[in-house]
Structure 1
Amino acid sequence: MFCPHKNSYLQLVCAMNPRMINKAVDKAMERSEFDPHCETPAAQRMTSMQPSLYAPHVDITRAKLGFGRIGLKLLIRELHSEDYLVQLQAIHSVLDQVQISENALFLLKLHVVYRLIDLMDHKDPVIREKICLILTLLATYYQGRKQIMSRPVIIDNLLYIIVRDRKEIRYVAAATLRTLSRDRCSCELIMKNEKVIEDLLKVVKNEHSSIVLLHLQTLANLAAWDPTRQLKANAFQIMLSLFTDRDPKIVSAAMDCMTQLCKDDIGKILADEYDITFYLRPYLMSKNIEVIISAVNLMAYTTLTTRSKWRAKECMRLPRRLVELCHTPNKPVLQLGAMQVLMNLCDIPDIRYNLRLNLDKNVKSIKIRYHEDWDGTTETSSFGLETGHNYRTMSIEKVETIKNDYGDNALVINVHSYLRRLHELKARLIYAIHKKPYRH
């Protein structure tokens, strides 16, 4: 039961043996040489026609069952087969089939998630890894998240793998939890687990960099739902310690997580105590653009308090650097964050006077790109070939989409409304710079 074209254990249903068709064509064309693949038993195909990676213990010349609804039903039964090889083959085939949306939805109707969750504590590490990969793909569907979160025991199983399993399986388990945390309804159910925040913060300190990155994204998604538990678990101090990491991706992810923490009142108080606004100054000069974007977005929340604004006054080079960052029309996200920080700092008369005296022309000359030149992501591509106009999609891997960070439903904003928001913020910034006290 193996399809060499899909690297699966099922083949397409055909009403007639294709070898019979080939024989009839050869006979009608009066060919003297016949294809050895049409003979019985079938010969091995050429190396170039075979897949580069085979599933274990497979003879690709033997295929008995076809792809279809009947085959998928039998495939689910074999997930709990007593034969280890049959069970392993079935899991490999399910992993291939869930990548096809039609088959994935049909498998969800057959409640394949419940069978997979029961196998998460299997003794074979290959099976545990493949199950996490399958659940990650199914979690991208609403029906899949609904079935997965209907069994809260999956969070305990994922945490057990994340804390105690081998590195490869810890990575795929972290990806599964990260995918689940992207949905706000799932965040509410995940947060009901009593150990999820503490365990994630515990493993973040001494873990592989790629796994730490996934955990930080998960913590940021959970903090967007409820930052209180993370603040009580000293998440603020842990994120601050990650600012000095060598990997810029981890630094950026830690700043994004702290941004969610600073939306809470306690987070703003901690930001003042640790002097985060003054601490972020070197990161505005970073060579990595993602670090700069994350630092500016974090500063937009740390400069809301009076104490932080007066602290920013002590560094008069900060407004000039923020104005320079506003002149990046190819990065609208950076423009929005930099102008918002300047708006916050305009509450200080000395900074406002400095902007009006020295940087007024620079602020008025800020250019905002047109919607025809932008596809709604922070990474620009030529004619939208890499990302396309997918800004209405909730998540695009490796590309930061523009979306709301508030409200019950964080929906992606379209390009026109986002650019209009940039124009309005620029107008308010110019008005704030020229605003004078009442006595004048």
Structure 2
Amino acid sequence: MNLLGTTWRLHGDGRSVAPGQVVTPDERLSWPRTIGIGLQHVVAMFGATFLVPLITGMPPATTLFFSGIGTLFFLILTRGRVPSYLGSSFAFIAPIMASQQQYGVSGALGGVVIAGLTLAILGLIVQKFGSSWINRLMPAPVTGTIVALIGLNLAPSARSNFELAPVTALITLLTIILVSVLFRGILGRLAILVGVLVGYGVAVVSNEVDFSKIDAAPWLGLPQFQTPTFHLAVLGLFIPVVLVLLAENIGHVKSVALMTGENLDSYAGRAIMADGVATTLAGFGGGSGTTTYAENIGVMAATKVYSTAAYWVAGIAALLLSFSPKFGELIATVPAGVLGGAATLLYGMIGILGVRIWVQNKVSFSNNINLTTAAVALIVGIANFTWTLGSLTFEGIALGTAAALITYHGMSALARWRGTAEDPLTPDTDPATATLAK
């Protein structure tokens, strides 16, 4: 079957699939099974995708609309070779919240558009020249530091929501933790969604939920769209996010290639461009920025179904749900306590993802260049250092990112000139340090 340039072969007879049997991106199951897997992808992205608009105060239905549009556009631009769902990116939370304080929602949307356009341009460059230059600009010591400081910069926000309803927040957090450790497979991967649902139930019993807007909302209607305004001052907040999205998209392509056994390097630039365009469209219409979703990679890993046909189903289902204002208002009723419990884990997870980048790439902190890069940038980002230059204000994420890049490349250049340090990318071979790292 051909759908906007995507051709799938029916997998087997379409009726029976052996457990663990791999379904490749250009294959599909029978349509009933494909629809079932597609809806499973929608459920997988729910908990995380909706947390971003809920935390930032943006309309959930609008975010869902552009999430669906972005997913479909991604599939078209990658020619149906890279299965992916584009959900809300946590990397946008901090810059959106910071820019809203001064310029409102429209100013934050302008920042999302700028980030999206920048990412799309970088995607074109990657498609033309490859991605090796990204590794030179942002080696693991720098990338891990930037990802970590973006997550940890949000810690005060998590605490604020947690303190508004500590019992609900604690139950939400504990549920997520218990589900993630007690269950395997799909349920374990949906721990955030389960935790939010349990926390929501507690909030209902505690009269923390206001249902009045749900009753007033119609069943069918358009999402709430809003146009952006552009301010030079938000550049420093949103450009660092682009670096994170670059790493996420390249990581996604490599992960899918590893799982499917196919070489997808030629599609890395297309994937980055698609995410950039999807984020740009979201910014122009009132949605939050998008990124490829680890939750959906988890679904693929658990089911062994990598068919992009299932993602067409997921994207279309997300679009249909976005046209129900009643559904959007239902999502918007999630109270602060639930958000505080989930955010306590999620923001920390973003920070730890940075640490994971260090570990996976064997970053040696016995090397002073790596150590100093992380030490300076993390303190600047977590403490939210601020620097005002005329009408421009640069805060923790922007300054921390700049600190990481300048410190790493500056120290590396000086060390090469003086011959005073080893290559910071050389893994640590000291037996004592290696033992401590295990």
Bin the TM-score by the shorter chain: under 0.3
- The structure number with the bigger radius of gyration is 1
Superposition TM-score, scaled by structure 2 size? 0.21
Which of the pair has the greater relative contact order for Cα pairs under 8 Å at 6+ separation? 2
**Greater percentage in helix:** 2
Superposition TM-score, scaled by structure 1 size? 0.21
